[in-house]
A = this chain, B = another copy of it.
Amino acid sequence: MPRHLVNRPLRRHSMTSSPTSDLPTVLDIRAAAERLLGVAVRTPLLEAPLLNAQIGGRLLIKAEPLQRTGSFKFRGAYNRISLIPQAARSNGVVAFSSGNHAQGVAAAAGIMGLPATVVMPSDAPAIKRANTEALGAKVVLYDRHRDDRDAIGAEIANRAGATVVRPYDDPGIIAGQGTVGLEIAEQVKALGVRPDAVLVCCGGGGLVSGTALALAETLPGVPVWCVEPEQFDDTRRSLQAGRRQANPSDARSICDALLSPTPGILTFELNRRLLAGGLAVSDDDARNAMRASFEHFKLVVEPGGAVAIAAALSGKFPTAGQTIVAVASGGNVDPAMFRQVLSG
């Protein structure tokens, strides 16, 4: 059979491609799931009957705070780094992040034995810097106000021949995050349940696009919604407008994991096709969801990780008589913030 007739839905990973040809498929997600088997945690789907009674529906929480490094980010990082050709591996990887992506890349590179450099703002929380270093990565600090982060990263990548591991706008990252969707489908089927909706938080859109891609095949017809902080609802507005919208530069939120300026190119291309719509919640909604997660699920959830739960608990997404899956995406929150949230 001539090679171009091999049944392969979309061409991928081309260096000179349009966004569409770079889009991952569910086959990439299945391949990612095989790579992650025994390496990533197959996180449980949690349920609290008393909370269900309060909302008059059934809420199932996909508990990614229990993932390695405390967030879903490990999935995409490990999958993306696995795709680096052997010849380029010893040159290592470089990532920009002060948060969950940094720890995911550091842990994944550490497991595979690749050197990792993380470019981090000098005012990043000490605990996140310490964790990233403890996971084996070299941390390079830059001044948010004075230095050009991208230039620093590009210089490191060029000098060392390192591979840049982007936080969301990369097919390998999206495919890794999509394993959350495969697991949700398997887990609700094991429960004998068909959810009425799946709610997923959204920063750059890697998690929600990958999850929606997996669910389009494994739970066809189940609507997937993205949930964002009120002032960072760029994907919600972009879905309405049909093209990528930016957030205002003065936008603020406690949801530090979700503060991307615009949707990604690849992630929006997928989300545009796959999502039912977007929802926005307030910081207080997120705080309430963190308290409910403490009380009912005994789970530590960070502000950005709680917005999907918040959409269900705040009534911004209807729950009466419905079965809803909400992804809790991470739990990397400082004790001081958590104490403040618990004080209500």
Which residues of A come within 8 Å of B, CB atoms? Answer: 41, 43-44, 46, 49-50, 53, 63, 65-66, 68, 70, 107, 131, 134-135, 291, 294-295, 297-301, 331, 335, 338-339, 342-344
Contact = CB atoms under 8 A, between A and B. Distances in A.
Contact of A294 (B107, B297, B338): B338
8 contacts: A50-B134, A53-B134, A295-B335, A299-B299, A335-B344, A338-B342, A339-B339, A339-B342
B339 A343 contact: yes
Contacts of A68: 49
Nearest to A107: B49
A284 to B, nearest CB: 16
Copies in the complex: 2
A66 B61 CA distance: 12
Nearest to A103: B50
A262 to B, nearest CB: 29
A291 B339 CA distance: 12
Contact of A335 (B44, B49, B63, B294): B294
A238 to B, nearest CB: 31
A131 B70 CA distance: 29
Contact of A135 (B43, B50, B342): B50
Contact of A50 (B44, B65, B131, B343): B131
6 tightest A-B CB contacts, nearest first: A298-B331, A65-B298, A298-B300, A335-B342, A339-B339, A339-B342
